[in-house]
Amino acid sequence: MSTVALPPLADVLATARVVALPLAARFRGVETREALVFEGPEGWTEFSPFVEYADAEAATWLAGAIDYGWRASPAPVRDAVGVNATMPAVAASEVARILARFDGCRTVKVKVAEPGQHLADDVARVRAVREALGPEGRVRVDANAAWTVDEAERAVHALAEFDLEYVEQPCTEVDELAQLRERIAYLDIPIAADESVRKAADPLRVARSGAADLLVVKAQPLGGVHAAREIVAQAGLPVVVSSALDTSIGLSMGVALAASLPELDYDCGLATASLFTADVVASPLRAAGGFLSLERPRPTGAELDRVAAADDRRDWWIERLRRCYALLEVTRG
């Protein structure tokens, strides 16, 4: 697939701003989400690999950011995208407070297998979500590859009573997913692959191996909207388009991808702006009636100033961008 030509680094740096968004509840071990945003000819875009990711992996996120900023998005086939609420690994007593931040969402993805917690905590959290949604709502769980096969099997059995839509990335390795899928086949609970797609040298291996029933795809980590579309087309499995705890700018990249896909059978994990208490624009890209509209945020200088990161963090991100840009120059010859 063709890729957009790398713009001069100076053009990327000219509008680069580093932001720090506070979270309403601790998520993925962090309380503040940092990101670098910049403007291209097509509009604002985002570079936000998690801070622990090495440069080689982060460079793919930069390719995705450049793709979105310098290349026109595919034509949409729908004018709104259905989205799920995302439930951090909070106590069951906190579930109602978090759900109230997601307007009209009838699907909830619940984080489970949090370090330092136990299966009983997961069961209590998922039960609280199911009770809040009622029998018609959809509940999916995400373990972020934290379980062994045996632990995953035990957890799925414990959570099966809550009528799970699917279990996302229960184990790390593709062969582990395949083993678990065989063990729990009689429960008729699908397995979704996330890290096995976006962190894999071969993102299609999990589909070819028959290790998952559906794929979770994220535009930025896969190299952009166009690269992700190609992976979806080749995989031949249903997909959920999700975010990586992006700002509203990054979320709009995911919405552009989701809106362009011919088939979209599941609600997408793109409503995570509701987990922030501040964002890069005054009107964040949040769910309304369970849907996100197709809009591309255009932050003002004042809006970006309001969530600007500290100087030392800005310097860290700018240097990271420079290193990742250099890697892209090498890989693209």
Residue 52, domain CATH: 3.30.390.10
Q: Is residue 2 part of a domain?
A: no
223 & 318 share domain: no
130 & 273 share domain: yes
CB of 153 closer than 8 Å to CB of 180? yes
Q: Is residue 3 part of a domain?
A: no
Give the mean model confidence (pLDDT) for residues 196-222: 94
Structural domains of the chain, count: 2
Give the mean model confidence (pLDDT) for residues 177-206: 94
176 & 317 share domain: no
CB of 83 closer than 8 Å to CB of 292? yes
**C-alpha span between 329 and 321 (Å, rounded):** 12
28 & 133 share domain: no
**Which residues are part of the catalytic machinery?**
111, 218
Q: What is the pLDDT of residues 124-174, one digit of tens each?
A: 999 999 999 999 999 999 999 999 999 999 999 999 999 999 999 999 999
168 annotated to bind ligand: yes
42 & 143 share domain: no
CATH code for position 269: 3.20.20.120
58 & 161 share domain: no
Question: Quick check: 91 pLDDT over 60?
Answer: yes
Q: What is the pLDDT of residues 273-328, one digit of tens each?
A: 999 999 999 999 999 999 999 999 999 999 999 999 999 999 999 999 999 999 99
287 & 219 share domain: yes
* Residue 1 pLDDT: 54
Q: Is residue 1 part of a domain?
A: no
As a whole number of Å, the CA-based R_g of the chain is 19
Q: Is residue 268 part of a domain?
A: yes
* Residue 2 pLDDT: 66
CB of 271 closer than 8 Å to CB of 254? no
142 annotated to bind ligand: yes
Write out the two tokens for 239.
Answer: 């997909």
197 & 48 share domain: no
Write out the two tokens for 131.
Answer: 């009770």
115 & 244 share domain: yes
Q: Is residue 231 part of a domain?
A: yes
C-alpha pair distances (Å), 251 with each of 117, 126, 189, 243: 29, 25, 28, 6
Closest by CA position to 9, among listed 312, 331, 315, 323: 323
Closest by CA position to 47, among listed 283, 269, 317, 326: 317
Closest by CA position to 19, among listed 324, 299, 322: 299
310 & 183 share domain: no
Q: Is residue 4 part of a domain?
A: no
Q: Is residue 117 part of a domain?
A: yes
Q: Indicate the pLDDT class of residue 51, thresholds 50, 70 and 90.
A: very high
Residue 41: phi, psi to the nearest 5? -60, -30
* Residue 29 pLDDT: 80
Residue 319 structural domain: 9-71+301-331
Q: Indicate the pLDDT class of residue 28, thresholds 50, 70 and 90.
A: confident
Half-sphere exposure of 199 (CA within 13 A, CB side): 15
* Residue 128 pLDDT: 98
* Residue 25 pLDDT: 86
104 & 158 share domain: yes
CB of 285 closer than 8 Å to CB of 251? yes
312 & 255 share domain: no
Give the mean model confidence (pLDDT) for residues 193-206: 91
